């Protein structure tokens, strides 16, 4: 089988994806910014599953009634301690990570979330640069280790994914919401088994967020995405870590 020509690849990009998996693959393989990849997937997935797009739009409208500036730890505030299991069952604490340097904390919805997958792969792509700046990275999601373990391996993530059991830490941060009956119905139809992933019947999720914590344990930069189909750009994260290095 011969490799596709540039012309064929351009035709593929112009055509509609035949599945949600193809839409995700197409978005993540484009050499564009994270926000552009997220937008590309959002458009393609909305075209294929408009009922999901409508339900997500309604959810975001409901959550937007919250004052986003008051959601989660604020700039300069101490980040609450955690002690959570990673994909191998080892307990990892915030204090142990901060002993090594600043920490980038990515709060993610779950291993099943395509927007989280695009975001975490973008973090993996800049992980070596983050390490050169003396910082570490972790993801925190509500899924159990039996799901995060395969996820880390399949996506070549060079950082741990911690399990927020029963969303206890997200609740402490004030970053938790109920998905509502319509999304609950759509997830069940699509085979997104939150009860299985979380080990409970709550149907709560964390808000997508990035928090950069300095060695003093205080939040140096933050972005809470109530519109979870948008995320912090990797270069904004790098810029903050460079400032911490200079300071």
Residue 14 lies in a domain: no
Residue 96 lies in a domain: yes
Q: Torsions phi, psi of 163, nearest 5?
A: -95, 120
Q: Domain limits at 213?
A: 49-246
Show pLDDT as tens, one digit a residue, over the chain (247 residues).
345 554 454 445 456 677 888 989 899 889 899 999 999 999 999 999 999 999 999 999 999 887 665 789 999 999 999 999 999 999 999 999 999 999 999 999 999 999 999 999 999 999 999 999 999 999 999 999 999 999 999 999 999 999 999 999 999 999 999 999 999 999 999 999 999 999 999 999 999 999 999 999 999 999 999 999 999 999 999 999 999 886 5
Closest C-alpha among 142, 134, 113 to residue 241: 134
Residue 5 lies in a domain: no
Residue 121 lies in a domain: yes
Q: Which residues pair with 92 in a beta bridge?
A: 84
Residue 225 lies in a domain: yes
Using alpha carbons, list the distances in angstroms from residue 127 to 11, 47, 111, 131.
33, 33, 19, 6
Q: Tell me the C-alpha distance between 130 and 132, whole Å.
A: 5
Q: Tell me the C-alpha distance between 54 and 27, whole Å.
A: 21
Residue 246 has what pLDDT?
Answer: 67
Q: Tell me the C-alpha distance between 139 and 137, whole Å.
A: 7
Residue 68 has what pLDDT?
Answer: 60
Residue 11 lies in a domain: no
Q: Tally the domains of the chain.
A: 1
Domain CATH for 242 = 3.40.30.10
Residue 13 lies in a domain: no
Residue 67 has what pLDDT?
Answer: 64
Residue 163 lies in a domain: yes
Residue 13 has what pLDDT?
Answer: 47
Specify the DSSP class assigned to residue 5.
P
């Amino acid at each position: 089988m011969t490799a596709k020509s540039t012309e064929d690849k351009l035709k593929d990009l112009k055509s509609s994806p035949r599945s949600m998996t193809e839409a995700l693959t197409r978005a993540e393989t484009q050499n564009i910014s994270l926000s552009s990849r997220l937008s590309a997937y959002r458009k393609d997935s909305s075209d294929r599953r408009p009922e999901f797009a409508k339900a997500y739009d309604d959810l975001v409208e409901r959550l937007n009634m919250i004052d986003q500036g008051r959601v989660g730890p604020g700039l300069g505030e101490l980040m609450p301690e955690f002690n959570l299991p990673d994909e191998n069952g080892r307990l990892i604490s915030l204090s142990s990570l901060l002993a090594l340097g600043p920490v980038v904390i990515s709060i993610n919805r779950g291993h099943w979330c395509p927007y989280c997958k695009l975001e975490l792969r973008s973090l993996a792509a800049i992980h070596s640069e983050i390490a050169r700046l003396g910082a570490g990275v972790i993801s925190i999601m509500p899924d159990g280790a039996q799901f995060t373990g395969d996820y880390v391996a399949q996506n070549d993530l060079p950082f741990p994914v911690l399990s927020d059991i029963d969303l206890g830490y997200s609740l402490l941060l004030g970053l938790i919401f109920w998905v509502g009956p319509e999304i609950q119905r759509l997830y069940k139809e699509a085979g997104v088994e939150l009860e299985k992933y979380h080990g409970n019947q709550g149907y709560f999720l964390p808000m997508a967020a990035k928090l950069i914590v300095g060695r003093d344990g205080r939040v140096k930069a933050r972005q809470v995405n109530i519109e979870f189909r948008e995320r912090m750009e990797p270069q904004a994260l790098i810029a903050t870590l460079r400032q911490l290095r200079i300071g």
